[in-house]
Amino acid sequence: MKTGRFTLAKRGSWWILGVLVLTLGGVIPPGAWGQKSTGLGSKPGGRGGNVVTVDKKAEEARESFLRTSAELAREYEDLGELEKAQEVLRSMLKLAPGTKPIEEKIKQLDEVRLAQNEADTEVDASRGWVAARVAVEKGKVIRFQAEGDCRVTFSQLVNPEGVAAGDVKTEMALGVPFGALMGMIVDDKGKPGQPFHIGQKNELNADATGQLFLRVNLPPQAKATGKYRVRITGDIKSADASSTGR
């Protein structure tokens, strides 16, 4: 896991959360629990003293919950269970909505988690779709960083309709620039999805669950040399090694 460079930031963020927890008793009013006033304390001869006692217990319970939760989240992070740490922090936000240090810590853990998962691959411009050997899940984040150059020679008669596009297996993809790096997700049933533009850098949410394929968007008549080197990070997993290409 690649967490060493985050050590100082991690310690600092937990120190801030610790100070925050100690002061939340004065930040979060009793009404944050969503309790409705019973009016007992306003009636002569009522049990107002009991209400004050219960309010004090509620405040102590809130503070205890926040302290315990902050420690639990830190322990989960130390174990590398970042998603569980985020779940605990989100439960704290329900009690203290809008608390910036907690929100920032959740975002920080998200960045660490996404950066931990990475895969490197090369895309040969002379080939068709190449398996990235990466499995993705619908709705989850995928990040791309690409570099490299390709030389393309294209000589073909064209008409006013231009170069044919549309067939994702053999032709150029619609909506993606000529020569650009693009991707496509093939679902578990082998059905290809819609190609999408990647370019040099991109971040998107997977539109399907399946395996990721990459390609340089060129017509089949083009002759190309060169490769794009691509780093993929995010909510990804290593795909079945039996996937070879399309």
As a whole number, the mean pLDDT across the chain is 81
Instruction: Tell me the C-alpha distance between 195 and 182, whole Å.
Output: 7
Tell me the domain boundaries of the chain.
4-116, 118-238
Give yes or no for residue 31 having a pLDDT over 60.
Answer: no
Q: Which residue from 74, 50, 59 is spatially nearest to 22, judged by alpha carbons?
A: 59
Considering only CA atoms, give the Rg of the chain: 27
What's the pLDDT at 165? 73
Q: Please, what is the end-to-end C-alpha distance for the chain in angstroms?
A: 32
Q: What does each C-alpha distance from 161 to 51, 157, 164, 176, 197 come to in angstroms?
A: 79, 11, 8, 17, 22
- What pLDDT digit, counting tens, does each position of 58-72 carry? 888 888 998 999 999
Phi, psi of 243 (to 5 degrees): -75, 125
Report long-range pairs for 106-113 (Cβ below 8 Å, ≥24 apart): 108/6, 108/9, 108/10, 108/13, 109/77, 109/82, 109/85, 110/86, 112/3, 112/6, 112/82, 113/82, 113/83
Q: What digits encode the pLDDT tens for the residues 104-133?
A: 999 999 888 888 889 999 999 999 999 999
- Does position 40 have pLDDT exceeding 50, yes or no? no
C-alpha–C-alpha distance, residues 133 and 118, integer Å = 11
Q: Please tell me the distance from the alpha carbon of residue 239 to that of residue 228, in angstroms, as a whole number.
A: 20
Residue 153: both structure tokens together: 């020679």
CATH for 118-238, options being 3.40.50.10140, 2.60.120.430, 3.40.50.2000, 3.90.1330.10: 2.60.120.430
Confirm if 142 and 197 have CB atoms less than 8 A apart: no
Residues 6+ apart with CB under 8 A from 79: none
Q: What is the pLDDT of residue 1?
A: 41
Rounded Cα distance between 153 and 103, Å, is 51
CA 122, 128, 133 angle in degrees (round to 5)? 45
pLDDT tens digits for range 184-228? 999 999 999 999 999 999 999 999 999 999 999 998 888 999 999
Quick check: 229 and 147 in contact, CB under 8 A? yes
